């Protein structure tokens, strides 16, 4: 049976998400689950930042009783490392932390690592993505553009690229409560036909399997189906 997929708006490895993460570990069915931390999305922020995210993940999940291994993949070439692929193959839970969604998708889609994640999901491993990691697990992701005069990428005009499809038919809008909803609505109203947009607040997650989803954490998940908007809070479930 395929494992659950958890999509987190923001807040990976923080105490505010510890209760939620304990539940994910329990869902593996193992007394001491094997956890892989994949900080690839932060690789372009510099080695110190990249290593810090790996260290935070190890400290957080070790404190929750897991056996934790950071897989330090920065590039497509490193993502072909047999040892890194083996670690994913043995994991009970794989956590993709945040950063640059463009870089993360490129590394995963241009190497065997994307297939390794799909195989882990197929054999029952729990897959967790936070922010950029959640966007990568979805069906489609925003294709950000870099402009010479701007220090940050922008999503307009809207274009979409295939993501890993492990949360098929879903588009993730992370940090939903941290930006004006009018801005997010402009994006949500332009998602590809047949897709549903999940606006996930910070310190909030939604866990799904076979089209059934449930909200966890302190915030809300805003679900856009075309122009129809619904909001769900902790403990509430829905289908997508």
What is residue 158's predicted lDDT score, i.e. its pLDDT?
Answer: 75
List of residues 6+ apart from 28 with CB closer than 8 A: 92, 93, 125, 126
Asked if residue 108 lies in contact with residue 43, where contact means CB atoms within 8 angstroms, the answer is no
- Per residue in 88-111, pLDDT tens? 999 999 999 999 999 999 999 999
The pTM of the full predicted model, rounded to 2 decimals, is 0.94
DSSP output for 144-170: -B--TT-SS-B--S--EEE---TBTTE
- State what percent of residues in the chain have pLDDT above 90: 91
- pLDDT tens column, 221-239: 999 999 999 999 999 999 9
Closest CA to 79 of 17, 150, 15, 136: 136
Confidence of residue 77 (pLDDT cuts 50, 70, 90): very high
The CATH label, of 3.30.420.270, 3.40.50.880, 3.20.20.140, 3.30.70.2190, for the domain at 5-239 is 3.40.50.880
| Per-residue pLDDT tens digits for 173-186 | 999 999 999 989 98
């Amino acid at each position: 049976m395929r494992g659950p997929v958890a999509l987190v708006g923001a807040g990976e490895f923080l105490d505010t998400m510890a209760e939620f993460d304990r539940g994910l570990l329990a869902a593996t069915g193992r007394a001491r689950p094997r956890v892989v931390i994949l900080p690839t999305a932060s690789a372009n922020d510099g080695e110190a930042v990249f290593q810090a995210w790996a260290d935070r993940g190890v400290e957080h999940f070790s404190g929750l009783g897991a056996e934790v291994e950071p897989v330090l993949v920065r590039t497509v070439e490193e993502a072909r490392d047999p040892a890194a692929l083996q670690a994913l193959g043995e994991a009970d839970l794989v956590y993709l932390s945040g950063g640059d969604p463009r870089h993360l998708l490129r590394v995963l889609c241009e190497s065997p690592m994307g297939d390794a994640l799909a195989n882990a999901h197929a054999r029952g491993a729990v897959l967790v993505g936070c922010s950029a990691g959640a966007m990568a697990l979805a069906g489609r992701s925003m294709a950000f553009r870099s402009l010479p005069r701007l220090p940050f990428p922008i999503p307009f005009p809207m274009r979409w690229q295939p993501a890993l499809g492990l949360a098929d038919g879903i588009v993730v809008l992370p940090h939903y409560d941290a930006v004006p909803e009018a801005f997010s609505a402009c994006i949500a109203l332009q998602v590809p036909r047949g897709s549903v947009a999940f606006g996930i607040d910070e310190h909030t997650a939604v866990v799904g399997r076979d089209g059934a989803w449930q909200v966890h954490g302190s915030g809300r998940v805003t679900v856009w189906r075309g122009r129809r908007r619904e909001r769900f809070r902790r403990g509430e479930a829905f289908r997508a």
